[in-house]
Amino acid sequence: MAEARALIIVDVQPTFCEGGALGVEGGNATAERIADFVTENAEEYAMLVTTQDWHIDPGSHFSETPDFIDTWPPHALAGSAEAELHEAVASLPIDASVKKGEYEAAYSGFEGRDAGDRPLEEILRNAGIEEVDVVGIAESHCVKETALDALKAGFPTRVLSDLTVPVSEELGIAARTEMDEAGVEQIDSPHAFGFYDETADASIPGDDYATVEEEIASYEGHDRRGYGNLDGDAHIDPSSGNPGADATGNYRDLDEAESEPEDLAARLTAGLGIGAGLIQTTEADDIDLDDFDVEIDDEIDFSADAEESDFDFSDINYKPDV
């Protein structure tokens, strides 16, 4: 049975998207991608959780001269429109929501609490969650810290890399390196579920060579003593591995098979066989000429002594090149 998994959507708020106080390029597109992903994969998760920066008086976290490392301009002010969830995420079937950073800096969702004052880890434990996926804004800060804390709390953790975005590419590279070294799995969302099962018993087209041979052997009117290509060349029966052998492994005399028959009926028989690219072992007596749409004089002598004058070729429209 699959482990119970939660999706933690970190700080997808207008304040961190284009036009917000700390807008990250690609924030709005990330919010839309997350919404699409959840819509398509909600059944894969036992719980959907959101986190929000919700600053009231975070002290030195705000600065009029921010360094954008430890200090920042005012953002995500509690109760403001920018602090609410992005509209693309707000419409999702969210099971729990935590807010963080009211009176101090807070980057990890595990520093947040819900309306009942429960910390995120307790919420997950009470729901029987065993694994988590993390997405949101920004990869280089709050997503990274939330993923690292989830791992420290004992949850196998994945970050779905295409459903997050860093403040800058340089900081994104540093964050991904730190998460990788800590043991956080980082994958793109199309690979999150439905991996190909390499242990599945799947048939390979063309792999059943024996079946092909059986079909050839069962072709009505042909025996299994050998077959040729369209040029009439003799081939090895694959079941024997012997040149000129039949299906039971017995050799046939190819020189004899290809030699010119002595009587006319045998010549007709050989012509029919070789013309189809098959080496026949059918005897002349096995052929019922009544099956052929050919008018033959009953008085014709099919012995080796038959003369050309015994045959009427007047019905044959053949004009050889001279």
Q: Which residues are catalytic?
A: 11, 100, 142
Residue in this structure with the two tokens 């012509």, named with its chain if needed? 271
Contact assessment for residue 34 and residue 136, using Cβ atoms and an 8 Å cutoff: yes
d(CA 51, CA 146): 10
- Is the alpha carbon torsion for 250, 255, 261, 265 positive or negative? positive
- Is the alpha carbon torsion for 45, 134, 58, 166 positive or negative? negative
Closest CA relative to residue 75, chosen from 14, 6, 154: 14
β-pairing, 157-165 with 185-187?
Answer: parallel
- Cβ-in-10-Å burial (0-12, 13-18, 19+) of 318 comes to exposed
d(CA 246, CA 225): 4
Sequence-ordered alpha helix ranges (H) in the chain = 27-41, 87-90, 120-126, 144-152, 169-182, 209-217, 254-258, 264-275
State the chain's maximal CA–CA distance in angstroms: 122
Angle at 142 between CA 137 and CA 144, to 5 degrees: 100
If DSSP codes are grouped into helix, strand and coil, which group holds residue 45? coil
